[in-house]
Structure 1
Amino acid sequence: MRRALNIKNKLSFIDGNISKPTDSFDPLFTPWEYCNDMIIDWIQHSIGFEHRLTIAHADIATNVWTDLRERFSIQNAPRIFQLTKAISSLVQNADSVSVYYNTLKSYWDELEIYEPMPLCTCGSVKTLTDYNHRTKVMQFLMRLLRLYSGSGSSI
């Protein structure tokens, strides 16, 4: 969503850099309301139906964005558990290697949202990143069809 808003030059509406004009006679008041309503509408159509009701009466895009960010950035232990379990039980079965990998990668990517790598400039994070990468390679290889099991030793 941030990328779409940035492309449309509307990111400043959700990060608070463009605030609502205080005077309704301000020439920017009407264009601001138009853009703000458009962004709220985009957000409403980008989230699940069950969450739309919570922002149905919102009037400022910044407030909607802040509310959603706070609501969904909280560590979600049940979802982390579900993702970890899905990763550990996923097998290739009849899927192509590409479909199998893409499914696994989507789990990894979502898990990364909940458990991001730490920011560090000391160089230690490279060791952690390398370990994380090796773990993902092993997860991928362990559940490939036996047809590809010989490939694991050459990767």
Structure 2
Amino acid sequence: MVGPDGDGKKSGGSKFAEQIAPSSPLYLHPSESTALSLTPTVFNGENYDLWVDAVRNALDAKNKLSFVEGKVRKPHVKDGEEESLEAVAWRQCNAMVKAWIRNSIDPKLHPSISFSGAVTEIWKELKDRYSVGNAPRVHQLKHELNQCKQNNNQSVVEYYTNLKTIWDE
């Protein structure tokens, strides 16, 4: 935390005079919004690997990847105590990251993730449900690779992109 003058020292007095440092994962820039879409790739239940890579990249760029990875833990607040600045910031960041993830998921999948508390729960649930190996899909991809040929009207770049997409999946 830094004081209001940015000198890295806590100011003596109210916790409300304190700020979250911009380098902290608990920091939310004033331009952040719950309406933000992290990536144009929308998760539809079938494109998990592509989607998770895009979301991880976007969250890392915003210094929020540690939220989904569970590295930033919710500060403990004892019953009857006022929330610390860190606890308030964690709650706000958790809500923001949940909204960003929800915005990047097809609305038909929303009911299955709507009641999770921490964003790590949503992240883990999606991973457990959709990242499992799929033997029929692997077989299908191997067949597609075997059948992949360059069409007459297809450039080498287009053919390579198609081949690499299948291979990467």
Q: How does the TM-score come out when normalised to structure 2?
A: 0.58
Q: Once superposed, which parts of structure 1, at least 4 consecutive aligned residues long, lie more than 6 Å away?
A: none
C-alpha displacement at 1:59, in angstroms? 2.1
The answer for unaligned runs of 5 or more in structure 1 is: 111-155
Q: Which has the higher helix share?
A: 1
- % identical equivalent positions: 39
Alignment RMSD (CA, Å): 1.8
1:104 matches 2:163: yes
1:47 matches 2:105: yes
1:37 matches 2:125: no
The answer for unaligned runs of 5 or more in structure 2 is: 1-54
| 1:48-127 correspondence runs (5 A) | 48-93=106-151, 94-110=153-169
Q: How does the TM-score come out when normalised to structure 1?
A: 0.62
C-alpha displacement at 1:92, in angstroms? 1.7
Where does residue 143 of structure 1 map in the other structure? none
C-alpha displacement at 1:90, in angstroms? 2.2
Inter-partner Cα distance in structure 1 for 2:108 and 2:115: 14
Inter-partner Cα distance in structure 2 for 1:70 and 1:17: 19
Higher relative contact order (CA 8 A, sep 6+): 2
Where does residue 22 of structure 1 map in the other structure? 76
